[in-house]
Amino acid sequence: TWMTRPETRAVCAALTGAGHQALFVGGCVRNALLGAPVADVDIATDARPETVTKLAENAGLRAVPTGAEHGTITVVSGGIAHEVTTFRRDVETFGRHATVAFTTDPADDAARRDFTMNALYATPEGELLDPLGGLPDLQARRLRFVGDPTSRIREDYLRILRFFRFHAWYGDPQEGLDPEGIAACAENLDGLAGLSRERIGAEMRKLLAAADPAPAIGPMAVIGVLNAVLPGADPRALPPLIHLEHGMPPRWLRRLAVLGGEEVSERLRLSRRDSRDLGLVRDEFGTTRPPAELAYRHGADLARDIVLGRAALFETPPPEGWQQAIALGADASFPVRAADLQGLEGPALGARLRELEARWIASGFTLDRESLLGRE
């Protein structure tokens, strides 16, 4: 596993060899306990950032200060990035906003994390450290704020979205959310308006990429979080969509398209490409273009998004044989080139090409170049 691979051992050894602590923390520990894939490895240490850099370099590893102000050094070992962060504790300054200071006690570090299941630590040997009782919560698949939910939310309103994001991924879909956590979210909705669109967008995309985001989106709609981040969004077509997807790879864009809403691309700061794809899928919800043509025009992924989205929104099953039609359309390539149409140019050439293409699509991509050009 990732914990015992030599690249990761080397990072830990660089720290522990000098008498420092090296503890895996956060998502990697949580996911290892769940048997879920681990994306990135976070390591917490009592060593100061300067020391982390020095020890890593002495061990022949590259150290990049990726978040020096937070005390994070990315240590690259065998091409794998490890985020090494000095233990921190919150120090109250003005009002509610906490600033951080370094500490040597992992229990302080745990107290400033968001949820108990994200505050689990493991030694390089794989021994679990659970200063806040996160393991029972993880086993019960229960999202519980570290400390008082209201004050934790007021330190960082993004935690409202993270509460639902982690519920979508790791919560129990049958059990409701922690009532105290829900109440704290509901009371503090106003704070969402102050978050950057980038942070909101990143959390929402992750949330919607869960196998089934519906058990999180439902309560978000009920208490008003959904409308606060995506005005006009409607969660009703989401459960039928998830049902229709039937274990296909999750696509956040498809779920987002089905939720709808106003100015979605701007509010979630989508990339140019994602924004174009989202607009295209939503536009095609309103057309009757058949699956094969959708796949030919937009590719297989977007065609599936459109077919499944329409089915969920209009409560009609997808057309018979749609999956094969998409495979066919995605592979089809129009056999006529502009050079084949001599004597035409400009708009007339474009119009003629589109006409032949429409005829070819209508034939189910069966007409070849000769029959298309010959039949004048």
DSSP 285: H
The answer to whether the beta carbons of residues 116 and 153 sit under 8 Å apart is: no
Q: Taking contact as CB under 6 A, which single stretch among the options 44-52, 113-121, 228-236, 319-327 is the one that binds ligand ATP?
A: 113-121
Q: Which stretch binds ligand ATP (CB under 6 A): 155-163, 182-190, 218-226, 332-340?
A: 155-163
Stretch that binds ligand ATP, among 112-120, 121-129, 273-281, 287-295 (CB under 6 A): 112-120
Torsion angle of alpha carbons 90, 92, 96, 100, nearest 10°? -30
Residue 129 near residue 136 (C-beta atoms within 8 A): no
Q: What angle, 0 to 180 degrees and rounded to 10, lies between the N-to-C axes of helices 6-16 and 49-58?
A: 120
114 contacts which partner out of ligand ATP, Mg ion, none, CB within 5 to 8 A by kind? ligand ATP
**Which of these ranges, 152-160, 214-222, 224-232, 305-313, lies near ligand ATP under the rule CB under 6 A?**
152-160
| Nearest residue (beta carbon) to ligand ATP | 27
CA atoms of 135 and 140, how far apart (whole Å): 9
> How many Cα atoms are found within 13 Å in the side-chain-facing hemisphere of 18?
20
Residue 113 near which of ligand ATP, Mg ion, none (CB within 5-8 Å, type-dependent): ligand ATP
Among 20, 22, 24, 27, binds Mg ion (CB under 5 A): 27
Q: CB 98 → ligand ATP: shortest distance, Å?
A: 10
206 or 359: whose CB is closer to Mg ion? 206
> Which entry of ligand ATP, Mg ion, none binds 158, CB below 5 to 8 A by partner kind?
ligand ATP
- Report if residue 118 touches ligand ATP, rule: CB under 6 A: yes
Nearer to ligand ATP, 203 or 277 (CB): 203
Main-chain dihedrals φ then ψ at residue 65, nearest 5 degrees = -75, 90
Asked if 26 touches ligand ATP (CB under 6 A), the answer is yes
Burial code (b: 16+ CB inside 10 Å, e: under 16) for 345-354 equals eeeeeeebbe
Provide DSSP, 18-70. TT---EEETHHHHHHHHT-----EEEEESS-HHHHHHHHHHTT-EEEEEEGGG
Is residue 109 near ligand ATP by the rule CB under 6 A?
A: no
Length of the chain: 376
Q: How far apart are CA 193 and CA 147, in angstroms?
A: 24
The DSSP letter of residue 212 is -
Q: Is 114 in the site for ligand ATP (CB under 6 A)?
A: yes
Among the listed residues 113, 144, 251, 254, the single contact to ligand ATP using CB under 6 A:
113
Q: Provide the minimum distance between the beta carbon of 153 and ligand ATP in the complex, in angstroms, as a whole number.
A: 10
Q: Considering beta carbons, is residue 40 or 57 the nearer one to Mg ion?
A: 40
Q: Identify which of residues 34 and 353 has a Cβ nearer to ligand ATP in the complex.
A: 34
Q: Which stretch binds ligand ATP (CB under 6 A): 154-162, 278-286, 348-356, 368-376?
A: 154-162
Structure-token match 């020890």, residue found: 55
In degrees and rounded to multiples of 5, residue 173 shows phi and psi of: -65, -20
Question: Which listed option, ligand ATP, Mg ion, none, makes contact with residue 210 (CB within 5 to 8 Å by class)?
Answer: none
Angle at the Cα of 279 (from 278 to 285), degrees rounded to 5? 90
Q: Using the rule CB under 6 A, which residue among 10, 129, 158, 311 binds ligand ATP?
A: 158
Q: Does 39 bind ligand ATP (CB under 6 A)?
A: yes
Q: Closest Cα partner for 160 from 111, 216, 105, 106?
A: 216
Residues that bind ligand ATP (CB under 6 A): 26-27, 39, 42, 113-114, 118-119, 156, 158-159, 206
Binding site for Mg ion (CB under 5 A): 27, 40
